[in-house]
Amino acid sequence: DQGFTLGPVVADDTDVDGALPGGPAAGADSTTVTITPQKYRDAYLPVYPNSTRLAGLAAGWSYDRGLQTVFRNNPITPQQYTVTANMSTVTAAELETEDVQSGGPLTQTGTLPVDVIEQAKAITAQTQTPFDAAQAILHYFTDPANGFTYSLRVPTGNSGSALLDFLTNKKGYCEQYAAAMAIMLRSLGIPARVAVGFTQGTRQPDGSYQIESTDAHAWVEVKFVKAGWVAFDPTPVV
């Protein structure tokens, strides 16, 4: 009954409608998608990773360049808009040579149980790079041999730490898996955040995709120096 508290967002650019200043460069893999909100109402605008251009927005939407987040002060149902995004992907081989920048709010953990820190170190003891460490924690949660399962009915614990209880009981839902992985990465000095959004949705006969509230999901994003935000999904397959 606590949930997430939103981190700070900065209005680097206001009333965005057009090219996103300071965003990733558009490339040959850029694609433009038309989004038609129906019952969606929020202060955050659904956009694709590495979005480079928005069109059709009403006034009041701001852009945080560092987080690549589009937001406003009050929730509304947006009118139809288009998003142009660079859909190119970075390979595992490229990420193996990547580094991260420690420090700052993306590596803050607050007060963390020592057991969680030690567990993160143990899981990543044999890794050499930030990408290896992220992969190790990802596989720790998704490998069936480790006993983690997906469930909306979460058992309670008595450790005094909801995070430690989750890691002990090994049962939970996507927000818990994402939060656990992100905080473990941060404890290792790897900048990470929990991203909340939607999966692809269901393809319709006309080729479009219908995205519903049941497609809502949470995952982890790690910020690499060159590749930028890279997604990792630690939730076990249902």
Contact of 155 with 164, CB cutoff 8 Å: no
* Cα gap 95→235, rounded to integer Å: 21
> Nearest Cα to 4, choosing from 157, 182, 171?
182
Contact of 45 with 70, CB cutoff 8 Å: yes
Tokens of 163: 């995070």
Contact of 28 with 73, CB cutoff 8 Å: no
Instruction: Kindly report the number of other CB atoms within 10 A of residue 70's CB atom.
Output: 24
Contact of 208 with 200, CB cutoff 8 Å: no
Q: Mind telling me the catalytic residues?
A: 174, 217, 233
Burial 129-155 (b: 16+ CB within 10 A, else e): ebbebbbbbbebbbeeeeebeeeeeee
Specify the 3-state DSSP secondary structure of 237. Answer: coil
Q: Which residues pair with 195 in a beta bridge?
A: 219
> Nearest Cα to 113, choosing from 164, 153, 165?
164
Strands 171-172 and 149-150: parallel
